[in-house]
Structure 1
């Protein structure tokens, strides 16, 4: 619905009576939201606007904006939350899980098809046709799209998970999302989603998931029809679940000695210190407490555990940080604007921050909410062309084989010596025989040149070979690409009112995640960023951040990701500091 630009008809502040009515409508539409949460979303006194728009298809839509972000939109008296709201309350709607590659299709305006839905072990959420539901990605509970169910849950199963599942109305990175601060989805751990991926590949197919579910359903029906047969002994499913619980019990014996609150308190303390020590920099202060918790503390949570402050003795993040301030004096929290708290100071010399990292915790393992990045090893190679085939005919190298420059020189030298082509009077020259003549000389040179210097011989040979680049990432097989590898391009452009924006492209060539780079830059420069599909390039994304940030981009790519400078284009355009 918002895949294309829309036209704004009006934008007015919302009255108090209208706010009360909206809260009542939201409470009826989303019963999982408490009154306190509704008050936080629709404040009584803070700025809250109503924007009426027309979509590219002429549909009339009402958008409710608070905290400078669209929070809800209304179509034909039906309310829907935006992704900004769902990132704060991910459990507000039933969710369907899909694979990351499907997101690009949804952003382009496609609906979520049932073959792309990942069926969890607990089964699909219970929905009716037309119910509002959200879409998440494997390994992250933060919704990236929302819409209405095309069929009910029972019909999905009866259809064999084929056909349309969710009619998508709004997605991350569409024009409604662009109407807000254009922030990226938070990282909300999904333990079950992590189990579905092994090195980025599915370990269990969708067909196997459906088959397993159908077996459980058939077994349940059989138990209902013949209950007496199953009263005396447990089912196979119960046995399997009992074994899993027993195994989990052995692993969690130590945790059982402490109460769940104490375990969560210890986890909060560990993630808090790790985040301050390995994630937060002085340049990022003041830092919103919500951003600190979502982007920093969550990424420090050990794999297989879930950080949930509501299960701790503190219950709220503000209370936890207040204790860290009053009792430990590690941080100082201040309310910079009404209802919004920020960390304004950190005692970096605090004894607690000099703690030894717990065994098994890799502080640098997740520097930006992602796995550790290792730069590729890039080598320029030369491929044997058809014209040079006779020169390499007596070797094991044939047409299309890629050689390093040293190998090319070695083969050429071997050929010259084997055919006794070194000039006896001057050994700096090589005599030209018919094969070298056909391979290295132009037709106009046939009668004029009868010898070449060694350097000229080598340069002519490699000049007639196909240049290619070999890219090797640690632990992965080498990838060979024709031509020179594309550098990361960093440039600055002007937008309306002479505002500058910095654009970065070709990150995917070096296996860099554009969203992770955008998030890192946001933290460094405190400016908003957006991701856009790169025109004319398939599966490539353009990162755009406000202001001339070439210098910061250079520091990030050179120092953090360790990309060689020769593979980054445009750093020379960084602004130079003048005399003050």
Structure 2
């Protein structure tokens, strides 16, 4: 169901009454949960979000999200737990066990077939058709898929373990899993699975061809055409290590093979692999134990970027992780390579590196980038200023004016579109004053939409300019921010300018403060470092109270002139989007 990206309709904080109802529904659906466990899943005071989405096939699904992780999804008024919940409570649902190669097929949208079910010594779980159940892998009790039983367990046995077993709804590595923190399944020992094969028979690992045939029988393909499944990070690390070992042997043909493999991968998978390579390279040859704790932003800028092979460009936004924090979290939780901690509020640091980790020890540093790293320069990651467009949203009051153009409340329009729709309405209703074409007659609709109550009896006509200005004035202002190669972002209200100001700290020392850099796609840590090099003064980052995902840059002294030059000249931010440049020292040159 979630093999393909879904569309989010709404995301709201749950109400108190709905929270109590959810708690009762969870308790009824999963009676094995104790009162304490129920309070952990549906806490009374912590923020719990209700996210309504549309799956790619049009199914309406409701998600319940806690700490950014989806806990339950409700489909056709029935609650199902996600893998994040099942990793905490693996015994919550009856489970069917299968082999690890089958997981890749399940992620692609296939159902689990009965020939792929590994029957434990205790026998099949007791289920009826339609019961919610989970799928685990051999040697690990952590569930990797959630679905419903296609038939009852009695019918499974009577059919000779043939046919469909579990109709899969959600899996590890699908888009619902990616909606959360993308953590990996824990390792939970499963003694019953040792020594068992397909349907209880012995399983021979060395017969690869037979294994592939069995995997095909284990699942019923429902793969979406053209859909590729993202491999786990672990497999990418193995691929990189093997590739580097082949390069050391000096085989020229390997370069062609690597190119062919890269062509078969999606750009996102290629960027993921490059990200892992630069990460391992930086840990193995750049980071020293004496440097720890190390700011994650410094690690990226000074170490990972310098490990990027020539001719390639490292861009986290083009990877599946999108953010450095999510990537490092995956490296910490899934592979125990590093330990990341928030030493200051909103600022993360790498506090520990597992130098003995086998993945790190097996990694071979590429010869191409081995050696002294080039000094990091400002803007090493190419930055292009966003294109900002002012837009207007149809308000409830103006909806009658836009109905003829099929524009309902909330429709986003450009000023030119608004002007065109108003002109078309006037011409269609023949409202232009015959004696003076510069005026428009006010009909009942225009009266209700554009006039104040005190003007109802007095104003009979308006000039064209006044008509347009009143229309725009009663619409909801919006703006669109579009970065090159990215989907445009539309938000309501005015766009916040980058604010540069000077404040006093103890002993009347001056500091320069810069905020709202994130609105324009700028990384505050990168801007702070660039300014630090320019003015040779220390800089720090402070979280902004009440503003999520926003950081304040503070640098010693009155540096408005230098900060302005950096933003105007280097990042090419238009002057109208920068506030406070007039407070620069008089000695500074103005652009």
TM over 0.5: no
**TM-score normalized by the length of structure 1:** 0.43
Query: Please, what TM-score do these two structures have when normalized by structure 2?
Result: 0.42
